[in-house]
Amino acid sequence: MKITDVVELKNIAREIRKGIIESVYSAKSGHPGGSLSCADILTVLYFNQMNINPEKPKDAARDRFVLSKGHASPALYSTLANRGYFPIKELKTFRQIGSKLQGHPDMNKTIGVDMSTGSLGQGLSVANGIAIASKLNSNGIRVYCLLGDGEIEEGQVWEAAMTASHRKLDNLCVIVDNNNLQIDGKIEEVKNSMPLGAKFESFGFNVIEVDGNDIEQLIDAFQKARNIKGMPTAIIARTIKGKGVSFMENQVGWHGKAPNEEQYNQAMKEFSL
């Protein structure tokens, strides 16, 4: 299934955002801000770009996705549920005892999760390994890795970036969710990593910079990445933390806080407007 209609994709992104709020509200904990910011990215990947089939979740020929910023698991779970990997009603079990939906993705518990993540900075190393294996096996899969712009303060990310370039992993696409906020405040105030594009270029990446909350720009960027040969691609996706919920947008306090009942109702009302 590949959806090309932009309006339909925007509607799916809205449903994914509703699932994010439902999950975090039900758990009374979680990370809504950075989950909401990357919802459009995951929408385009899972409904327009990736070669996947929910009926064959372990298909060896499927494309792979690594959520390196594992605390944004509500976004991944809501995407997987809306894509048909498990019932949407299960989102209400997020972070609860006995649930398949842990606070961070667990590939042994959750169908559709390609890699367990949570310790920041490690996802790109894993994505490299998958991409290298695909090159060796000649099975043609593409590998996507979503990083947070706060996460890339971790040194391991840049070691992995050197490896990706050295190995000419043109089947690897890194996406940086560049919402400019992390748990302690603004990126430039905590540890300034700007300009992101220039840094990835200096590490040997093809770089594409886009509005990460614009479906059409994302589709175009991923299509361009497919055509690049001999080097990995990094898509710097400028996003809004808390995107889609007015009182959460660009508010660092919503990095890791659940809405109360009044806030939950307001958010859900905004999604229906």
Model pLDDT for residues 207-235, shown as the tens digit of each residue: 999 999 999 999 999 999 999 999 999 99
Q: Is position 247 within any domain?
A: yes
Specify the number of domains making up the chain: 1
126: containing domain:
6-271
194 within a domain of the structure (yes/no)? yes
Q: Where are the alpha helices (DSSP H) in the chain?
A: 6-27, 32-37, 39-44, 73-83, 123-137, 155-166, 187-191, 196-202, 215-226, 261-271
Record the tokens describing residue 156, joined without a space: 């391991």
Residues 10-22: tens digit of each pLDDT? 999 999 999 999 9
Question: Quick one: average pLDDT of 182-205?
Answer: 95
Q: For residue 212, what pLDDT is reported?
A: 98
Query: Can you tell me the distance from the alpha carbon of 131 to that of 145, in angstroms, rounded to the nearest whole number?
Result: 11
Task: Read off the pTM.
Answer: 0.97
Write down the pLDDT at residue 1: 78
Does the residue 1 lie in any domain?
A: no
In a domain, 113, yes or no: yes
pLDDT at 167 over 90: yes
- Closest by CA to 94, choosing from 16, 25, 33, 146, is 25
Q: What is the pLDDT of residue 273?
A: 78
**Closest listed residue to residue 152, CA positions, set 128, 125, 130:** 125
In a domain, 157, yes or no: yes
pLDDT tens digit sequence for 142-158: 999 999 999 999 999 99
Q: What is the pLDDT of residues 81-107, one digit of tens each?
A: 999 999 999 999 999 999 999 999 999
In a domain, 94, yes or no: yes
Q: How many CB atoms lie within 10 A of CB 118?
A: 17
Q: What is the pLDDT of residue 231?
A: 98
Model pLDDT, residue 96 = 95
Q: Are 248 and 33 in contact (CB under 8 A)?
A: yes
pLDDT band for position 139 (50/70/90)? Answer: confident
- Backbone torsions φ then ψ of 174, nearest 5 degrees: -95, 135
Q: Is residue 91 part of a domain?
A: yes
Asked whether 205 and 146 are in contact (CB, 8 A), the reply is: no
- Asked if residue 213 lies in contact with residue 206, where contact means CB atoms within 8 angstroms, the answer is no
Q: What angle do CA 212, 66, 28 make, to 5 degrees?
A: 75
Domain of 95, CATH number, reads 3.40.50.970
What type of residue sits at position 179? N
